[in-house]
Amino acid sequence: MTDSKSKEKVLEEVSQKAKEAEINYHGCSRCTLYGLKEHFDFIPQDLIRASMVLAGGCSSSNGSCGAYSGGLLAIGLKYQPPMEDLSPEAQERRLRSREKQFAFRNTFIKEFGSTLCPDIQELKFGRRFNMLDKKDWEEFMNLPGHYEKCAEVVAKGTRLAAEVLLED
């Protein structure tokens, strides 16, 4: 590690920061990146801001969980070389990035059973919500403990991404 913090301390700090952000500001994808930025300086504020469009299952479209999407963005940012770089070293980095994203995906699925927002909703709330249906969206947003349960997913997803990022 680049500083004297233990790995466990870093994992606790980033997951707690992400959890607090989700409870206070909302937006699972951006809160995941916000938490990761607590330790990983390579994550720019512009990426955190832009990632909000991935919240709620990719723009509330019942797609990938925002915590999963945010974690993937951080992994890609760290490991992917510039697109124009066609060198052998860049190819090695692309392969390494692929290994990292698959490791994250596999641990995320092991934890939540899926990478999809509706599947995780069912796990946490007992049913799926169609975020594009106004009635379903309002019901979801007004569920007791909604932000806390989503924050648990964000905290764990942030922790899983940080574990991958700390491997080397």
* pLDDT tens per residue, range 114-146: 999 999 999 999 999 998 999 999 999 999 999
Token output for 87: 């060198």
Rounded-to-integer distance, Cα 29 and Cα 67, Å? 5
Q: What's the whole-number mean pLDDT along residues 48-71? A: 92
Phi and psi, residue 116, nearest 5°: -95, 135
CB 143 within 8 A of CB 132: no
Is the confidence at residue 1, as pLDDT, over 90? no
Looking at the chain, the whole-number percentage of residues with pLDDT higher than 90 is 88
Both structure tokens of 100: 């990292």
pTM of the model: 0.93
pLDDT beyond 90 at 62: no
Q: Which of 164, 167, 162, 168 is nearest to 9 (CA)?
A: 162
Average pLDDT, the chain: 94
For 94, phi then psi, to 5°, come to -60, -45
Distance CA(104)–CA(114), nearest Å, equals 12
DSSP 53: G
Asked whether the predicted pLDDT for residue 2 surpasses 90, the reply is no
pLDDT for the residue numbered 164: 98
How many residues does the structure list for the chain? 168
Within a 10 A sphere around the Cβ of 96, how many other Cβ atoms?
Answer: 15
pLDDT of residue 23: 96
